[in-house]
């Protein structure tokens, strides 16, 4: 069964610094991959998705992620953190023919002024 | 276009009662999925419906059920509520894989508290 691992349940970065949130998936067949952000008392907002087209995916709010099959990874980055980026981030995988998202445990991002 | 609408936003129920949550998908989306989010278990898949048929089901007891109507709106029901059912219930709708805008769009959720 597919599993998604997010290294680091809490990440703190200074405002203006690089944001790097890690995500690894387990399946041998590359799935579709998604990054979502969740603000307190809100649902999940899609940041970006990989659906087997370009390996470098650009999303909203300046975020991007690179799919690396050899590393089974889909890490999320942003060159310069902003205070408004403070939230919880979830990586999710969807395997073909299985309409079910498998989520990682989430990473809470804190921005230090 | 309108997003995914979940009602109600908040619910407080007593143990043993039952509850029904509603989800209206994005217009044109025929797939609706439900997820439970708790601090301890994270985001867990409940079930997925497409054109009124349940295609996939997660590992939840039979007290959790759902259905989808011809207009793609979906409801989930939880009977004989337990304290552990307290959670944020999220609904997501999606288009068909292969379409350029394919992805899962989530609603704001229904926060269920069982007392």
- B92-112 confidence digits (pLDDT tens): 999 877 666 778 999 999 999
Q: Is the alpha carbon torsion for A10, A15, A20, A23 positive or negative? A: positive
Residue B87 CA to residue B79 CA, distance in Å, equals 15
Low-confidence ranges of chain B (pLDDT < 50): none
HSE value, Cβ hemisphere, 13 Å, CA-based, for B64: 19
Chain B residues with beta carbon closer than 8 angstroms to that of A100: 33, 45, 48, 56, 58
Q: Is A39 on the interface with B (CB under 8 A)?
A: no
Residue A97 reports pLDDT greater than 90: no
Note the pLDDT of residue B1.
Answer: 62
Block residue for tokens 């205070």: A83
Note the pLDDT of residue A51.
Answer: 87
Mean pLDDT of all residues in chain A?
93
Q: Is B50 on the interface with A (CB under 8 A)?
A: yes
Which comes out higher in pLDDT, residue A113 or A54? A113
């Amino acid at each position: 069964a597919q599993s998604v691992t997010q290294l680091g349940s809490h990440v703190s970065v200074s405002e203006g610094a690089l944001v790097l949130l890690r995500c690894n998936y387990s399946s041998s067949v590359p799935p579709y991959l998604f990054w979502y952000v969740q603000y307190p008392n809100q649902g999940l907002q899609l940041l970006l998705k990989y659906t087997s087209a370009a390996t470098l995916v650009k999303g909203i709010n300046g975020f991007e992620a690179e799919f690396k099959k050899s590393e089974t990874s889909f890490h999320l980055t942003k060159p310069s953190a902003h205070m408004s980026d403070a939230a919880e981030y979830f990586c999710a995988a969807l395997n073909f023919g299985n309409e079910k998202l498998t989520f990682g445990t989430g990473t809470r991002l804190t921005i230090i002024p | 276009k309108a997003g995914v609408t979940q009602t109600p936003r908040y619910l407080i129920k007593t143990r043993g009662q039952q509850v029904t949550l509603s989800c209206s998908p994005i217009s044109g989306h025929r797939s609706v999925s439900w997820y439970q989010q708790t601090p301890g278990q994270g985001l867990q898949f409940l079930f997925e419906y497409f054109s009124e048929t349940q295609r996939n089901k997660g590992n939840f007891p039979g007290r959790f059920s759902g259905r989808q109507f011809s207009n793609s709106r979906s409801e989930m029901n939880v009977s004989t509520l337990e304290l552990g059912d307290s959670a944020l219930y999220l609904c997501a709708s999606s288009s068909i894989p292969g379409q350029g805008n394919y992805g899962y769009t989530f609603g704001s959720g229904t926060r269920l508290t069982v007392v």
